[in-house]
Amino acid sequence: MCLAIPVKVIRLKEGSMATVDAGGVQTDISVALVSDVTVGEYVIVHVGFALSRLDPDEAEKTLKILAQGGIDGLPA
Amino acid sequence: MAYLHEFRDRKSAQALLSTIRNESRPDRDYRLMEFCGGHTHAIWRYGLREALPDNIRFIHGPGCPVCVLPISRIDMARTIASFPGVLLASYGDTLRVPASGGRSLLHSKAGGADVRMVLSTLDCLRLARENPGKTVVFFAIGFETTTPPTAVAILEAKRQGIPNFRVFSNHVLTPAALRSLLLDTTPEKQVRIDGFIGPSHVSSIIGTLPYEPIVREFSKPLVIAGFEPLDVLLAVLMLIRQINDGRAELENEYTRVVTPSGNPEARALVDRVFTLRESFEWRGLGLIPNSALAIRPAFRDFDAEDLFSVSCPSVSDPRVCECPDILRGIKTPEECRVFGTVCTPENPVGSCMVSSEGACAAAYTYGVRRTPDLEVRP
């Protein structure tokens, strides 16, 4: 139920809507819950609404920890 | 897909599993409850249970909104759907949960009621505009993740002056359920939990702060984690480290999405539209105080409960169904007599077999199933 996926914002539209790219599929979602969304950002989308931004720097940090099996450093 | 497939990488998974094998102590077991059905689904789908050492056990929690919805609320939705001029809409799985007499909203639809599946609350507003002669009732379920979209729909309906849109609110709150699980000291309902894998997208809204008092009060480690398999494995490692060190802290594995304060704008919209219910019934957990949301009187024109004033008595689960104990982690799906035989995803008896993130549906779809004992006679 709470499943949500990362999508890339490709166009902002009227009425707090945005066109996003979800793995090659373009669809329109509402960005009413996240202020000042900009084109190129990644947001997490759930039941047609962006819930939050995805922070690319934090994602990179986590991926680095994962790649070395979680031996050094953990998310803070 | 970016930021999805990287978190399913096999090599990283093998590296993590090796670290977990090295750091987990063979002389004890680790009983970890994943609160969310999203995690339950990931654990089964990616075979994490089998990949991890045997002394690391997952105890499936109640975080599946379809699963914890009590039969009486579905009976109420079926009653509302039966009124002339009503178009009742909800998210897919909700329509399939058997209520009294084994009847679901899909049975209502088959019987002539106008019941529709929607993917978003925006679809409901469209349905209301397209069907001005009907009262469009959104049967709203879900945790903090799913509530803000419902709040936006009600605010939009008010702004656009859509008079025929109503919401039947069944939105529930995660920290209240977590607390209720930990507070219950009934001996037969006791289940030992060493740590929690905390919610992903619920936390994107509420942030990490609401878990602090629970972690402190009950001295249980809690690690907020994403729904991808590597997120779950890293959270398991973080929990094992806490348990080995004797720590009980709140940690966040899902830093790419979850911040301490969450999404205050979304919460402000929810606060404008919704207010706390004194008490609400959860399947498996019973009545929990301050655990659900009702629509504020200021928005009563959009409240289906205000318009229809239906009430249905509390109904017990079918006697053979172990959903209540499965939702509390007391029993596993395989310990239910009807699991995989009478009760299947195609023909569910209990709610845990309906949603793909229900413990029974996940175990049935991805687990190794026992076959019924057949007596072969010559």
Q: Are B4 and B226 in contact (CB under 8 A)?
A: no
Q: Hey, is the C-beta of A56 within 8 angstroms of any chain B C-beta?
A: yes
Chain B residues close to A41, C-beta within 8 Å: none
Sign of CA dihedral B73, B78, B80, B81: positive
The predicted pLDDT at position A54 comes to 97
pLDDT of residue B374: 58
Separation in Å, CA of B96 to nearest CA in chain A: 14
Question: C-alpha distances in angstroms, A52 versus A59, B84, B195, B234, B364?
Answer: 14, 40, 27, 22, 33
What pLDDT is recorded for position B355?
87
Query: Which residues in chain A have Cβ-Cβ distances shorter than 8 Å to B141?
Result: 1
Identify all chain B residues contacting A6, using CB atoms and an 8 Å cutoff: 1-4
The type of residue at A38 is: T
**Residue B370, pLDDT score:** 53
Phi, then psi, of B267 in degrees rounded to 5: -65, -35
Q: Mind telling me how many Å the CA of A16 is from chain B's nearest CA? A: 11
Burial B102-119 (b: 16+ CB within 10 A, else e): eebbebbbeeebbbebbe
Consecutive sets of 10 residues in chain B, 378 residues long: mean pLDDT of each?
Answer: 93 96 96 95 94 95 91 95 97 92 95 97 97 98 97 97 97 94 78 94 97 96 98 98 97 97 98 97 91 97 93 84 88 92 90 89 82 58
Which of B1, B145, B237 faces A51 most closely, judged by CB atoms? B145
DSSP string of B220-267?
Answer: --EEE--SSHHHHHHHHHHHHHHHHHT---EEES-TTT--TT--HHHH
Chain B residues with CB-CB distance to A50 below 8 A: none
Q: Is B251 close to A74, i.e. CB distance below 8 A?
A: yes
For residue B239, the distance in angstroms to the closest alpha carbon of chain A comes to: 12
Task: Return the number of CB contacts < 8 Å for A and B.
Answer: 161
pLDDT computed for residue B119 by the predictor:
95
Q: Enumerate the residues of chain A whose CB falls inside 8 A of the CB of residue B3.
A: 6, 42, 54, 59
CA atoms of A26 and A49, how far apart (whole Å)? 14
- Using the beta-carbon criterion (under 8 Å), do B19 and A3 form an inter-chain contact? no
Out of B2, B15, B142, closest to residue A1 by CB: B142
Q: How far is the first Cα of chain A from the last one, in angstroms, to the nearest whole number?
A: 27
β-pair partners for B36: B63
Q: Do B93 and A56 touch (CB under 8 A)?
A: no
Q: How much is the pLDDT for B372?
A: 54
Name every chain B residue with its beta carbon within 8 A of the beta carbon of A22. 1
Interface of A with B in 5-44 (CB under 8 A): 5-6, 8, 22-23, 30, 32-35, 42, 44
pLDDT given at position B375: 59
Q: How far apart are CA B92 and CA B146, in angstroms?
A: 14
pLDDT given at position B318: 82
Which residue in chain B has the smallest CA separation from A8? B2
B201/A46 Cβ within 8 A: yes
Residues in chain B with CB shorter than 8 Å from the CB of A75 are: 234, 251-255
Query: What confidence score (pLDDT) does residue B333 get?
Result: 93
Complex prediction ipTM: 0.95
- Reported as a pLDDT band with limits 50, 70 and 90, residue A37 is very high
The single-letter DSSP state of residue A36 is T
| Ramachandran area for residue B211 (φ above 0: left; ψ -120 to 50: alpha; else beta) | alpha
pLDDT of residue B313: 84
Q: Which of B18, B19, B255 sits opposite A62 (nearest CB)?
A: B255
Length of chain B: 378
Distance CA(B334)–CA(B367), nearest Å, equals 10
B4: tokens are 């999805």
Give the chain A residue whose CA is nearest to the CA of B142. A1
